[in-house]
Chains A and B, each alone.
Chain A
Amino acid sequence: MSTQIAPPMDRRAFFKISGLAGGGLLLGTCLSFTDESDAAAPVEKGLGGGASLNAFVRIAPDGRIYIAAHTPECGQGVRTSMPMLVAEELDVDWRQVTVELVPLDAVYGAQFAGGSTTTPRCYTPLRQVGATARLMLVAAAAKRWSVPEAECRTETAKVVHPASKRTLGYGELAAEAAKLPVPDAKSVALKDPRDFKVIGRRISGVDNPALVSGKALFGIDQKLPGMLYAVFEKCPVFGGKVVSANLDTVKSLPGVRDAFVVEGTPNLTGLMPGVAIVADSTWAAFSARRQLKVTWDEGPHANDSWSGFLAKAAELGPQPGKQSLRKDGDVAAQLAAATRKVEAVYTYPFISHANLEPQNCTAWFRDGIMEMWAPSQRPGGGPDLINEVLGIAKDKVKVNITRMGGGFGRRLSSDFMVEAAAIAQRVPAPVKLTWSREDDLRHDHYRPGGVHFLKGAVDGAGAIAAWHNHFVTFGNRGRPGSGGSLSADEFPARFLPHYQSEMSVIDCGIPMGPWRAPGSCVFAWVIQSFIDELAAAGGRDPLELRLALLGDKTMVTTPGERPNGYDAARMRAVVKLVAEKSGWGQALPKGRGRGIAFHFSHRGYFANVAEVTVSKEGVLKVDRVVVVGDVGSQIVNPSGADNQVEGSIIDGLSAAYQELDLDRGRIVQSNFHEYPLLRITEAPKVETHYLLTNNPPTGLGEPALPPLAPAVCNAVFAACGKRIRTLPLSKNDLRWT
């Protein structure tokens, strides 16, 4: 097994694009050579040569199997797990497989890494891709031997005819197989999971040998002949415009080739106005930038501040929400009648994605074609935005997808792509745009902060009698930012007869974007913490109250427009298992505590138990986290899956320590000394368990994260009686006696 870049292919000549019905993944299952002459098409002479059975599978005469990895890789392991699906049904040994990286191309359907969607979107279609290719190889062998196909079977990259004891390797059959009709993907039989040989095995990532030896894999590593290096200075206040800049001075600096103003657009997540400097090296560009002086028109948000936003939220919170999200039963009456009530305000800040590889993109504009090398989770978004802003036709934008040094949602945006394109349009050479760490932290599309004004009541038996949430969120032009919108169905809606949620939006100029498990990553903290508060108020055990809240319901759906199913039975099962695995209920000394939380997001059911120590001096240490997740019937690659869960848990903890401050419209923090990420010194031990259920396999990039912060905060309460209602964690005084 190894990886390589796919050879250039002239698809026009030999691919018929065909989609699966039902608006699903557009896959190359019906792609094949169209006629005899195409057999000599360029792909035959490509790296390794061989015949393409479809857009994903190419087999060389020597039996080497090439499988396309079409989904962008940001660390979630899809360059490995997706080709595993094809290899399984093709019936080959993983060691025979070379994974090929392919560019953005409609032939692959959605090439997109976000929302933990890759596994659910591709699990069956990619198996069908492998299975149809296998059948074509069987058909080719049967034809050669003049025997019925039904008498043949496959065995690790060979077709076998047991009756006559004849065998042909896939390499010997591929050229003929490629000319045969492609079977209907839907009607092809897939393997019984009990027979899986590749799926379900711990397989090390295909890029690992290249990664550990420092090969150029990432966007920032790209180099082209004659390439120049660019930096791009944007207004520190979002949406600000350039009035003037000392371009002549900058242009005269050593190594500088050009400096110019880029007009930009008002779109906060599109092309921001700024000044580009193009130089002979990254350092020359960075150095010249220190001499750059720009006069900005800072625009309408130059006086915005986080403290001002909090004051505004405090004013809005007690008032009725501007928008009603849901109103079940009579919350007001329940609250008025209740003897035990809890009111709480939960506050969390804006935070950044802080990908370790700063945003960057390489672009080369020549002969009317904009070719790009983009570390993008959504490479197709680039051509759309470039078309909109720069007027270059989408089919004139060619995107090569590079590995990404972290995604977490940041690279679903295409701002860095349109910036690189805008600069490349004016430079007669390929150009690599590199953001500094400071650019990256100060020009993110941030996870929105928020303030939740909660009121709850418990009845005489300690059950939750009413729940009211007025969520004060942030938005641009009146609409909540990405990840800043509370669903009307958000738990515990649908589980309580008296439930009400409202929302008010504070308008700001801050660009917002999806941050790992958007919405869920903070809502779970608020909801699962407040459930704990109500449990304490009602004298109930946090685990037991949660199970009672989930009740005996199974699938909870909302009639009408929002068919968002919530399978309470699946959630109960993970909650019970996490309690068992974590030793829930076993006594701990004062200063140590266990906290539990669960959340459903991205099709995954997760419950976490955190075990913490809080010293008398108030120092918090998370010792251990036990995670149970139900993501369906099959874990495709347990090694990659565990990585995702462990990463999500520690990311969730890291995020609970992070905060950005806004002052005079500017993000205050600039680099990791002011915006620390969690280090190995604070990383807890993570124990992961999967509860396999008879449901379609779903993704793991996100759903383990949301329950972490509330599990930790609930554990802190159990340890020392301090309730955390404000993030970051460092804002809380946890000293106890």
Chain B
Amino acid sequence: MTYSLKINGQARTVNVPPDTPLLWVLRDHLDLVGTKYGCGMGLCGACTIHINGVPMRSCQMPVGTAVGMQITTIEGLSAECSHPVQQAWIEEDVAQCGYCQSGQIMTAAALLKSNPKPSDEDITNAMAGNLCRCATYQRIRQGIHRAADLAAGKAVAS
């Protein structure tokens, strides 16, 4: 079946079976491989994208459910890594292997949009669905605090 999707501000058309999860449409058909496969069951968060600004598990979304929605992937989060979360992730050197980090960043970006100055507890609650096998949790927390400061225009000590 043919589906017209709005991804990162662009219209894209794919021809795939209706049960294809958006995750695999992105990765195999649209070459947007920043969104990762970790479990295929909604358990790890590696496949997190934004649907109309809300973080969702793309492995759990049959492609048809995304038609008409604004889909944002890590590749479309900003031009040139300029999003405060991306900047903070580079400055704090959050990643170890990095495999989970697209999903972490998408979840963190959505958190900051609804809560520009999250507490430690807010961060814990928001990030609980994103696994990091390398256990970068301490840096993720620091990264989100730094991103909040960057977004607020505060000078951040490096």
Q: B73 contacts which chain A residues (CB < 8 A)? A: 214
Segment of B50-58, B132-140, B149-157 engaged in the interface with chain A: B132-140
A202 at the A/B interface (Cβ < 8 Å)?
Answer: yes
Residue of A nearest to B26 (CB): A214
- For chain B, which range describes its interface: under 10, 10 to 19, 20 to 34, or 35 or more residues? 35 or more
A216 within 8 A of B: yes
A686 interface contact, C-beta 8 A = yes
Residues of B89-133 contacting chain A, CB below 8 A: 89-93, 95-102, 105, 123-124, 127-133
Q: How far is the CA of A144 from the CA of B39 in the complex (A)?
A: 61
Does B27 reach chain A (CB closer than 8 Å)? yes
CA distance A672 to B139 in the complex (A): 23
Contact present for B93 and A643 (CB under 8 Å): yes
Q: Among A214, A406, A436, point to the contact of B133 (Cβ < 8 A).
A: A406
| CB-CB under 8 A for A683 and B95, given A209-B90, A254-B17, A283-B28 | no
Could you tell me if A356 and B44 are in contact, using CB atoms closer than 8 angstroms?
A: yes
Q: Contact partner of B99 among A357, A647, A650, CB < 8 A? A: A357
Which residue of chain B is the closest to A283 with respect to CB atoms? B24
* C-alpha gap A680/B24 in the complex (Å): 27
Interface status of A218 (Cβ within 8 A of chain B): yes
Minimal beta-carbon separation of B134 from chain A (angstroms): 5
In contact, A208 and B37 (Cβ under 8 angstroms): no
Is the beta-carbon distance between A287 and B19 smaller than 8 angstroms? yes
Decide if B32 is an interface residue (CB 8 Å cutoff): yes
Contact residues on A (Cβ < 8 Å of other chain), bracket? 35 or more
Chain A's closest residue to B76 (CB) is A214
- Could you tell me the distance between the alpha carbons of A354 and B99 in the complex, rounded to whole angstroms? 13
Residues of B within 8 A of A437 (CB): 38-41
Instruction: Tell me the chain A residues, 353-370 only, with Cβ under 8 Å from chain B.
Output: 354-358
Tell me whether A214 and B27 are in contact (CB under 8 A): no
Q: Is the CB of A647 within 8 A of B102?
A: no
Q: Cβ of B134: which chain A residues have Cβ within 8 Å of it?
A: 75, 356, 406, 643, 647, 651
Note all chain B residues with C-beta closer than 8 A to A216.
33
A37 sits at the interface (CB 8 A): no
Task: State whether the Cβ of A47 lies closer than 8 Å to any Cβ in chain B.
Answer: no
Q: What's the nearest-Cβ distance from chain B to residue A356, in Å?
A: 4
Contact at A282–B138, with CB atoms within 8 Å?
Answer: no
Chain B residue contacts of A405, Cβ below 8 A: 36, 97-100, 133
Say if the beta carbon of B141 comes within 8 Å of chain A.
yes
Contact A77 to B33, CB < 8 A, known contacts A283-B17, A356-B133? no
Query: Would B96 and A75 count as touching, CB distance under 8 A?
Result: yes
| A737: interface (CB < 8 Å) | no
> Would you call the interface of chain B mostly helix, strand, loop, or mixed?
loop
Contact of B44 among A287, A640, A672 (CB under 8 A): A672
When the two chains form their complex, are residues A403 and B28 in contact, meaning their CB atoms are under 8 A apart? no
Is A124 interfacial (CB 8 A cutoff)? no
Nearest-CB residue, chain B, relative to A649: B135
Confirm or deny: A671 has a beta carbon within 8 angstroms of a beta carbon on chain B.
yes
The chain B residue with its CB closest to the CB of A640 is: B93
Give the residues from 59 to 106 in chain B that come closer than 8 angstroms, CB to CB, to chain A: 73-75, 77, 81, 85-86, 89-93, 95-102, 105
B140 touches A282 (CB 8 A): no
CB pair B97–A686 under 8 Å, yes or no, is no
Contacts of B136 in A (CB 8 A): 643, 646-647
Known A-B contacts A212-B86, A646-B139; the reply to A355 vs B93 at CB < 8 A is no
**Tally of A-B Cβ pairs under 8 angstroms:** 191
- A74 and B16 alpha carbons, distance in the complex (Å): 33
Are A651 and B135 closer than 8 Å at their CB atoms?
yes
Q: Which A residues lie within 8 Å of B34 (CB)?
A: 213-215
Q: Which of A248-284 contact B (CB under 8 A)?
A: 254-255, 281-284
Contact B124 A202 (CB under 8 A): no
Question: Do A208 and B135 touch (CB < 8 A)?
Answer: no
Across-interface contacts of B139 in A (CB, < 8 A): 643, 646
Question: Quick one: closest A residue to B78, CB to CB?
Answer: A213
A95 at the interface (CB under 8 A from B): no
Q: Within residues 338 to 377 of chain A, which ones have a CB less than 8 A from any CB in chain B?
A: 354-358
Q: Which residues of B contact A204 (CB under 8 A)?
A: 90-93
Chain A positions within 8 Å of B77 at CB level = 213
Q: In the complex, which of the residues B28, B43, B124 contacts A229, with contact meaning CB atoms closer than 8 Å?
A: B28
CB of A213 within 8 A of CB of B74, answer yes
Q: Does A310 contact B (CB under 8 A)?
A: no
A:668-683 near B, CB below 8 Å: 671-673, 677-681, 683
Interface string of A379-413 (1 = CB under 8 A from B): 00000000000000000000000011111100000
From A213, A644, A646, A681, give the contact of B124 (CB < 8 A).
A681
CB distance A643 to B96 under 8 Å? yes
Closest-CB distance, B92 to chain A (whole angstroms): 8
What residues of A have a CB within 8 angstroms of the CB of B46 in the complex? 356
A280 to chain B, nearest CB (A): 9
CB-based contact A75/B98 at 8 Å: yes
- Are A679 and B131 in contact (CB-based, < 8 A)? yes
B79: shortest Cβ distance to chain A, in Å? Answer: 9
Asked if A406 and B99 make an inter-chain contact with CB atoms under 8 angstroms apart, the answer reads yes
Q: How far is the CA of A213 from the CA of B39 in the complex (A)?
A: 21
Minimum CB–CB distance for A153 against chain B, Å: 30
- Complex Cα distance, B102 from A73, in Å, reads 18
The contact sample of 10 A-B pairs, CB cut-off 8 A, is A73-B97, A77-B96, A208-B95, A281-B20, A286-B40, A403-B98, A405-B36, A639-B93, A647-B134, A673-B41
Sorted nearest first, the 8 A-B pairs with minimum C-beta distance are A214-B34, A405-B99, A75-B97, A650-B135, A75-B96, A214-B74, A683-B137, A672-B43
What is B's interface to A at a CB cutoff of 8 Å? 16-17, 19-21, 24, 27-29, 31-41, 43-44, 46, 73-75, 77, 81, 85-86, 89-93, 95-102, 105, 123-124, 127-141
Beyond the given pairs A405-B100, A680-B140, 6 more chain A to chain B contacts, judged by CB atoms under 8 angstroms and listed by A's residue number, are A211-B101, A214-B73, A281-B16, A406-B133, A647-B135, A677-B131
